[in-house]
């Protein structure tokens, strides 16, 4: 009798990923396992076929041979067939190992990653800087060399898990394997804890680090310092330190990406007659030319006076928005001159206030 195609047997496409194949196998194995279908020879036979299909398709070399030559390319490679003595939970051993780990007395854990907020001025963020930071961090206890046990003593085997670091919990027909709650997966218990670290194997210290901040960083950017996080347990590597940049508010400029924005106050006469205004930039001073008849709110661009991108190297612009200031605390003579100026504006037939007139037109249409 010809064997059924392995992909069809598991109900997956020939392009299925390893995760999709494993998921399909778990579903089919649960359905046909003999523990759930006692005295059902058909279900047992189906389970054997499913298991064989999974063993072939979960192995990259066997799968490649099967894809090229079919069943003839993998005859005998499926292994020793079905074994029922292990119980229903045995099918899921690889799945639970993926979730909970293999478990054992040599189990160790990588140190935790740390995060530090670094406040910078806009000038520092744009130009780049080297900052000194002082952080609290857990490091390996020197007294017990990270074992957590009092000097001269050693941890003993955990009586709960027998040194395996894992315990099995029965839930119906499932057996779930998880880290031992008493030894936290280490397989060891400390009877005489170290007085300095209280059995933790790590102590808290403060250390000063030098952080090189590249030019052009902005709020939210992160700088990774590998291995500068908390110490790992039992010789495992330390975690990383992530320095998160926060740029302080500036009195003159606001930043949007690589562009800078600034409000520039100008006098009433400069707006009317035109002229030049000296404006600040992060690289020094620049001259902004104001054309005759400039209106308040107009923006002028000073090219490449912004921020150099930390990623692309492109330089942004400085956008200057002019704000026309109304004169205050006028003398009698100044008021008279302004009134005389206002009188000359009437009856000339010229359009001196284009925005005002367009606004009046809009109001007229609204009421109509």
Enumerate domains of the chain plus CATH numbers. 6-85 (1.10.287.110), 114-247 (2.10.230.10), 256-326 (2.60.260.20)
Average of per-residue pLDDT across 262-287: 94
Average of per-residue pLDDT across 144-167: 84
- Sequence length of the chain is 368
Which residues, listed in sequence order, are joined to residue 27 by a DSSP beta bridge? Answer: none
Q: According to the model, what pLDDT value does residue 197 have? A: 87
DSSP E strand boundaries for the chain? 114-120, 129-140, 156-157, 166-171, 174-179, 188-189, 202-213, 222-225, 241-247, 254-256, 259-266, 275-281, 284-290, 299-302, 318-324
With a cut of 80, say whether residue 344 has pLDDT above it: yes
Pick from 125, 315, 128: nearest CA to 301: 315
Phi-psi region of 145 (alpha: psi -120 to 50; beta: other; left: phi over 0): left
Q: According to the model, what pLDDT value does residue 89 have? A: 41
With a cut of 50, say whether residue 81 has pLDDT above it: no
Task: Output the average pLDDT for the chain.
Answer: 82
The Cα–Cα gap between 355 and 184 comes to 74
Q: Each residue of 42-75: b (16+ CB within 10 Å) or e?
A: ebbebbebbbbbbbbbebeebbebbeeeeeeebe
Average of per-residue pLDDT across 315-334: 94
Average of per-residue pLDDT across 210-232: 90
Which residues, listed in sequence order, are joined to residue 322 by a DSSP beta bridge? Answer: 264
With a cut of 80, say whether residue 2 has pLDDT above it: no
The order of strands in the sheet holding 114-120 is 114-120, 241-247, 222-225
The Cα–Cα gap between 237 and 214 comes to 27
Lowest pLDDT segment from 100-114, 165-179, 248-262: 100-114
Q: According to the model, what pLDDT value does residue 144 have? A: 86
Which residues, listed in sequence order, are joined to residue 169 by a DSSP beta bridge? Answer: 176
Whole-angstrom Cα Rg for the chain: 38
Average of per-residue pLDDT across 21-31: 86
Taking CA 257 as the corner, what is the angle to CA 256 and CA 258, rounded to the nearest 5 degrees? 105
With a cut of 80, say whether residue 171 has pLDDT above it: no
Pick from 220, 300, 222, 290: nearest CA to 260: 300
With a cut of 90, say whether residue 263 has pLDDT above it: yes
Q: According to the model, what pLDDT value does residue 273 have? A: 94
pTM recorded for the entire structure: 0.56
**Hey, what are 196's tokens?**
């300095």
Q: How far from 189 is each of 123, 153, 231, 355, CA to CA, in Å?
A: 54, 12, 20, 82
Average of per-residue pLDDT across 303-311: 93
Q: What percent of the chain has pLDDT over 70?
A: 86
173-182 tens-digit pLDDT: 666 778 888 7
Lowest pLDDT segment from 55-69, 75-89, 330-344: 75-89
Is residue 114 within 8 Å of 238, Cβ to Cβ?
Answer: no
Is residue 248 within 8 Å of 121, Cβ to Cβ?
Answer: yes
With a cut of 90, say whether residue 330 has pLDDT above it: yes
């Amino acid at each position: 009798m010809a064997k059924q195609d392995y992909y069809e047997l598991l109900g997956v496409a020939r392009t299925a990923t390893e995760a999709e194949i494993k998921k399909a196998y778990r579903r089919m194995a649960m359905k046909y396992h003999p523990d759930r279908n006692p005295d059902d020879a058909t279900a047992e036979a189906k389970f054997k076929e499913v298991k064989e299909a999974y063993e072939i398709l979960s192995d990259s070399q066997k799968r490649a041979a099967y894809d090229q030559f079919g069943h003839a390319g993998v005859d005998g490679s499926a292994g020793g067939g079905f074994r029922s003595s292990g119980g229903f939970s045995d099918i899921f051993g690889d799945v639970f190992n993926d979730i909970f780990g293999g478990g054992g007395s040599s189990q160790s854990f990588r140190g935790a990653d740390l995060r530090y907020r670094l406040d910078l001025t806009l000038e520092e963020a744009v130009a780049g800087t080297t900052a000194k930071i002082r952080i609290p961090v857990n490091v390996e206890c020197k007294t017990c060399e990270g074992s957590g046990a009092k000097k001269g003593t050693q941890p003993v085997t955990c009586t709960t898990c027998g040194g395996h670091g894992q315990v099995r919990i029965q839930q119906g027909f499932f057996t779930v394997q998880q880290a031992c709650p008493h030894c936290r997966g280490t397989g060891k218990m400390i009877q005489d804890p170290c007085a300095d670290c209280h059995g933790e194997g790590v102590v808290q210290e403060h250390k000063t680090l030098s952080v090189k901040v590249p030019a052009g960083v902005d709020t939210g950017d992160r700088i990774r310092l590998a291995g500068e996080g908390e110490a790992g347990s039992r010789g495992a590597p330390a975690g990383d330190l992530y320095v998160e940049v926060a740029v302080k508010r500036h009195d003159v400029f606001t930043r949007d990406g690589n562009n800078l924005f600034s409000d520039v106050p100008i006098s009433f006469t400069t707006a009317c007659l035109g002229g030049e205004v000296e404006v600040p930039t992060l690289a020094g001073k620049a001259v902004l030319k104001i054309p005759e008849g400039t209106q308040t709110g107009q923006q002028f661009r000073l090219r490449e006076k912004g921020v150099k991108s930390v990623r692309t190297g492109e330089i942004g612009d400085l956008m200057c928005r002019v704000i026309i200031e109304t004169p205050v605390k006028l003398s009698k003579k100044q008021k008279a001159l302004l009134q005389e100026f206002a009188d000359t504006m009437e009856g000339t037939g010229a359009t001196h206030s284009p925005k005002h007139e367009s606004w009046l037109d809009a109001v007229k249409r609204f009421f109509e």
